[in-house]
């Protein structure tokens, strides 16, 4: 899924050959899946559950925490019955109960890149005085089912990190 062209591109997992496209009406910020649905974010507080083959909308879930609507939902990953999500320009990953829409947990990754990177991050300083100001925000979650670890990264990040949540 790409940001602005309203298409979802499909590739064969074994060789990355393109096998088709599907229309998507909104912006494309993040996409993941459970057993039955694609789950899509478009930068708001909503998650869209759609049928994978047709993109037919099955339900919309509004995400909230104790303070109200949780917007800027970005990259997503479905792990053991929960949706993990980046929020654009926030230093944490939230854990969402996809049935209720409630945020039930949070992984605090404040200054994670600066604390853990082995790369030269001086290129970020040219754009802004903090990594956040330079646009190097958390964005990217993957899951290693076997090891039960998360892969995390961000925009302009030079590395992918593997972390374990206790």
161 CB contacts (<8 Å, ≥6 apart)?
112, 116, 151, 152, 153
Q: Which residue is nearest to Ca ion (CB)?
A: 77
Per rule CB under 5 A, is residue 77 in the interface with Ca ion? yes
C-beta of 15: minimal distance to Ca ion in Å?
21
119 CB contacts (<8 Å, ≥6 apart)?
158, 159
| Among 33-41, 105-113, 115-123, 136-144, the segment contacting Ca ion (CB under 5 A) | 136-144
| Among 5-13, 20-28, 139-147, 154-162, the segment contacting Ca ion (CB under 5 A) | 139-147
Nearest CA to 51 among 62, 63, 35, 29? Answer: 35
| Among 6-14, 93-101, 118-126, 141-149, the segment contacting Ca ion (CB under 5 A) | 141-149
List interacting residues with Ca ion (CB under 5 A).
77, 141
């Amino acid at each position: 899924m790409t940001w602005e062209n309203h298409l979802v591109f499909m590739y064969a997992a074994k060789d990355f050959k393109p096998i088709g496209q599907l229309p998507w009406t909104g912006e494309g910020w993040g996409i993941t899946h459970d057993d039955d649905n694609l789950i899509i974010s478009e930068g708001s507080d909503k998650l869209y559950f759609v049928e994978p083959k047709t993109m037919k909308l099955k339900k919309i879930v509004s995400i909230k925490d104790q303070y109200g609507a949780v917007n800027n939902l970005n990259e997503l990953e479905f792990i053991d019955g929960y949706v993990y999500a980046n929020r654009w320009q926030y230093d944490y990953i939230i854990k969402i109960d996809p049935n209720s829409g409630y945020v039930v947990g949070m992984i605090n990754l404040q200054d994670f890149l600066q604390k853990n990177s082995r790369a030269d991050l001086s290129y970020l300083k040219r754009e802004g005085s903090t990594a956040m100001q330079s646009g190097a925000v958390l964005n990217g979650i993957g899951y290693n089912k076997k090891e039960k670890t998360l892969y995390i990264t961000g925009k302009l990040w030079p590395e992918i990190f593997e972390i374990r949540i206790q």
